[in-house]
Amino acid sequence: MLNGQQVETVYRRLSEAMPGRTKDAKGPKGQPDAFRSCISCMLSAQSLDRKTARAARALFDLAQTPEAMLELDDRDIAAAIKPCGLYNMKTRNIRKFCEYLLAEHGGVVPDTREGLLSMPGIGRKCADIVMCFTFGADVIAVDTHVHRVCNRIGLTDARTADKTAHQLEERSPDWALRDGHFWLIQFGKRICTSRSPKCDRCPVNDICLWLKAQQKQDQTHE
């Protein structure tokens, strides 16, 4: 993993190259409230962003509150969210989430990580995304892009997104917590893409551990 000084350098360079939350970074769209933010996050599991957005739009056309959601037939929910896959499991989770939200929280989504984690269907990733995007907390939420990027550069060395989130929390400087998610996610979408990272124009290509390993591998094959 990178040392503390290198971690600082990575964040500083990303902050110069990528938009933060105060600029033009794009968060989950169409989620003005915590309820819809939670549901959208549940829909995003193992789904591409555009498919999640399509499913969320179709579902919120049918219902926008937990009460209205519970009035729907499971088949209607499943049909609406079909584009994002795993729709039967996600339908069950949505129903359990709405029932619990109404029974335990009077329909109001809790605004703490612990409270969110107590909700059915909400894991660390969803909790942090809702905390970051909806409640404006200084939290680096870890989705697939952030997970990939952090472990490539060497900010973390974790196999799962939850472990990455844990390590990031421990290793990130306080000044980077507010916008870190936004820098990392934009970086993962624009430069350090999944299949063909654009290493030649990457602002941290002199530090990235993944690139160093690739170069070493190339040298041994020459």
Q: Are 179 and 21 in contact (CB under 8 A)?
A: yes
* Matching residue, tokens 């600029």: 23
Cβ neighbour number for residue 113 with a 10 Å cutoff:
17
Catalytically annotated residue among 33, 73, 128, 143? 143
Report residue 160 as tokens.
């799962």
Catalytically annotated residue among 90, 125, 128, 179? 125
Q: Are 42 and 93 in contact (CB under 8 A)?
A: yes
| Of positions 152, 167, 172, 176, contacts ligand SF4 by CB under 6 A | 152
- Smallest distance from the beta carbon of 212 to ligand SF4, in angstroms? 9
Q: Tell me, yes or no, if 24 is annotated catalytic.
A: no
Q: Are 69 and 91 in contact (CB under 8 A)?
A: no
The number of residues that bind ligand SF4 (CB under 6 A) is: 13
Measured in whole angstroms, the distance separating CA 6 from the mean position of its chain's CA atoms is 24
Residue 164: which of 178, 179, 180 has the closest Cα? 180
Q: Tell me, yes or no, if 125 is annotated catalytic.
A: yes
Site string for ligand SF4, 177-216 (x = CB under 6 A): --------------xx----xxx--x-xx--x-xx-----
Closer residue to ligand SF4 in complex, CB, 59/191 = 191
Judged by CB under 6 A, does residue 77 bind ligand SF4?
Answer: no
Residues belonging to the active site: 125, 143
Provide the binding-site residues for ligand SF4, judged by CB under 6 A.
152-153, 191-192, 197-199, 202, 204-205, 208, 210-211
